[in-house]
Amino acid sequence: MVNITFLSNGGKVVTAPENSNLLRVSLKERGGIPFKCGGGLCGTCKCRIEQGLENTDAIKPKERKHLRPEDFEAGYRMACQTFVLGDVAVSWVVQNGKGVVQAVASAPAAAEPAAQADS
């Protein structure tokens, strides 16, 4: 069994079998992760694995349509596509009914456009 902590839901902790789908556990245990389609089409279930990112399975192609490489590096996943292999803590932010990515650091981005203009 693994522990899943729903940080955005008051730190609610639930247990689930290893290799459980994060969104399905949230639905069953009233974890609170937002969702609409449940199948990787809408992006509503975007969330951040705050602890235990190493305890999640490989990133799926459907996630790559909604999240950028820097989002994955910051711990963001889509709950409907993520399977939990060990303990995790997850948070999310909702704006206009959809999960959103919050302030992913990209300090060098301001200098990149000028540098790439010649290439």
CATH level 3 topology of 2-102: Ubiquitin-like (UB roll) (3.10.20)
Structural domain boundaries in the chain: 2-102
Query: What percent of the chain is modeled with pLDDT above 90?
Result: 78
Condensed to tens digits (0 to 9), the pLDDT of residues 50-86 reads 999 999 999 999 999 999 999 999 999 999 999 999 9
Helix/strand/coil (H/E/C) assignment for every residue in 45-75:
CEEEEEECHHHECCCCHHHHCCCCHHHHHCC
In this prediction, residue 104 carries a pLDDT of 54
Residue 42 predicted with pLDDT over 90: yes
pTM: 0.84
DSSP string, 106-119: -GGGGTHHHHHTT-
Gap between the Cα atoms of 74 and 50, Å rounded: 9
- Mean pLDDT, the chain, integer: 88
Gap between the Cα atoms of 118 and 98, Å rounded: 37
Question: What sign has the CA pseudo-torsion 101, 12, 33, 57?
Answer: positive
Gap between the Cα atoms of 66 and 99, Å rounded: 11
Query: What percent of the chain is modeled with pLDDT above 70?
Result: 86
Please compute the mean of the pLDDT values over residues 1-7 and round it to a whole number: 98
Residue 119 predicted with pLDDT over 90: no
